[in-house]
């Protein structure tokens, strides 16, 4: 038999030549192809960045303990405010969302920084006064979450629709 060197390569059961196959190079080529053929929309990329920014090991999750859409009797009229209560440890945040804006109070009453997070849009920053009260002139336009900073503590609510 004549040995022409073609049969010296070792193939696995799938027919791949393990010596020539570079998984890292293939992965990079696939990433580049996906970036050109199916790029990530800027809005989705911003949502991912914001979601990562929310990943704060110091932050506590503020549990939704009351939602008037779920926990109370229906109220007649389209202008009924949505009442929400969140709790994180000893801190409670009461929020009222209406067609005209958002207002709330941090309890026990204390100064706080409240950020209204809204997905790809930059969040608005509100300051709670000494009694813990805060207001926003407009309701969140879509899904929102609150990040509440009181002293050294940070609490983040779950995402809700206004």
What's the pTM value of the predicted model, to 2 decimals? Answer: 0.61
Structure tokens at 59: 């932050």
Closest to 157 measured CA to CA, from 102, 88, 103, 90: 88
Three-state DSSP class for 147? strand
- Section 122-142 average pLDDT: 88
Paired with 104 in beta bridges are 95, 134
φ/ψ of 39, rounded to 5, equals -70, 150
Q: What is the pLDDT of residues 96-129, one digit of tens each?
A: 999 899 999 999 999 999 999 886 666 788 999 9
Peptide bond connecting 140 to the previous residue in cis, omega within 30 degrees of 0? no
- Alpha-carbon distance of 17 to 36, in angstroms, equals 28
């Amino acid at each position: 038999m004549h040995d022409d060197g073609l049969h010296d390569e070792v193939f696995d059961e799938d027919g791949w030549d393990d010596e020539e196959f570079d998984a890292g190079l293939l992965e990079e080529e696939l990433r580049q192809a996906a970036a050109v053929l199916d790029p990530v929309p800027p809005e989705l990329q911003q949502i991912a960045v914001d979601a990562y920014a929310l990943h704060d090991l110091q932050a506590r999750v503020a549990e939704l303990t009351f939602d008037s859409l779920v926990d109370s009797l229906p109220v007649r009229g389209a202008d009924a405010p949505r009442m929400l209560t969140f709790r994180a440890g000893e801190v409670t945040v009461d929020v009222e969302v209406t067609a005209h804006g958002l207002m709330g109070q941090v309890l026990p009453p204390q100064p706080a920084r409240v950020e209204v997070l809204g997905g790809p849009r930059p969040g608005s920053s509100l300051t709670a006064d000494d009694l813990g009260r805060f207001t926003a002139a407009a309701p969140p336009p879509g899904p929102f979450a609150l990040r509440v900073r009181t002293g050294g503590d940070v609490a983040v609510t779950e995402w809700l629709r206004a």
